[in-house]
Amino acid sequence: MSLRHALLGLLSERPASGYDLLKRFETSLANVWPATQSQMYTELSKLADSGLISVTAQGPRGRKEYTLTDEGLAELRHWLTETKPQRNTRNDILLRVFFLNAITPDQARSYLTELMKLSEQEHEGLRRLADSIDWGDDPLSVNGKIALEYGLRFNAMRREWAAWATDQIRQ
């Protein structure tokens, strides 16, 4: 996924200003694909320059409202249906697990215990996020709930795995 496709996806729901997109991004996609404000505005300019979105209104202080063009919708649909998701093959957590033998068993168990705590914190953060959102029946809400459930289940699995792995470390 790219920021480009995330913005196209958000604009497929309805036109929005850069500020509105930033706020929607923070409450829906930031846990999946983090981006800074400057990255978002840079990408919006690129999307407009390439004709995938258009500026349909301009307001005070340079506020622009963006709308997805037919070409932008075609690009989003192409990305969704004709490109394979990139598998993120780098995993710092598991790389460290491969070399736990370089530290003491107590340190290895401590590392895994910290991973359990991290998973619990992330799970709780997602739970708070889920509770704070006024979920609707619109596609972004439905798909957002599905994605959030993935995060909840992933963190529960990682916590369970880390507890199991801790028990595997021998003195």
Residue ranges covered by each domain of the chain: 3-82, 92-168
Q: Look at residue 171 and tell me whether its pLDDT is greater than 80.
A: no
Task: Over range 34-51, report the average pLDDT.
Answer: 92
pLDDT at 28: 77
Residue 17 has pLDDT above 70, yes or no: yes
SS (H, E, C) the chain: CCHHHHHHHHHHHCCEEHHHHHHHHHHHCCCCCCCCHHHHHHHHHHHHHCCCEEEEEECHHHCEEEEECHHHHHHHHHHHHHCCCCCCCCCHHHHHHHCHHHCCHHHHHHHHHHHHHHHHHHHHHHHHHHHHCCCCCCHHHHHHHHHHHHHHHHHHHHHHHHHHHHHHCCC
Question: Above 90 in pLDDT, residue 48?
Answer: yes
pLDDT in tens, 65-91: 999 999 999 999 999 998 888 777 678
Rounded to the nearest integer, the mean pLDDT of the chain is 90
pLDDT of 1 > 70? The answer is no
At residue 27, the pLDDT reads 76
- Give tens-digit pLDDT for 93-141: 998 999 999 999 999 999 999 999 999 999 999 999 889 888 899 888 8
Q: Residue 111 has which token pair? A: 């590392």
Q: Are strands 53-58 and 16-17 parallel, antiparallel or unpaired?
A: unpaired
Domain 3-82 CATH (choose: 1.10.246.90, 3.40.50.300, 3.40.50.2300, 1.10.10.10): 1.10.10.10
Mean pLDDT of 138-145: 87
pLDDT band at 11 (very low <50, low <70, confident <90, very high): very high
Partners of 16 in beta bridges: 66
Token duo for residue 23: 């706020």
Alpha-carbon radius of gyration of the chain: 20
Across residues 4-11, what is the average pLDDT?
93
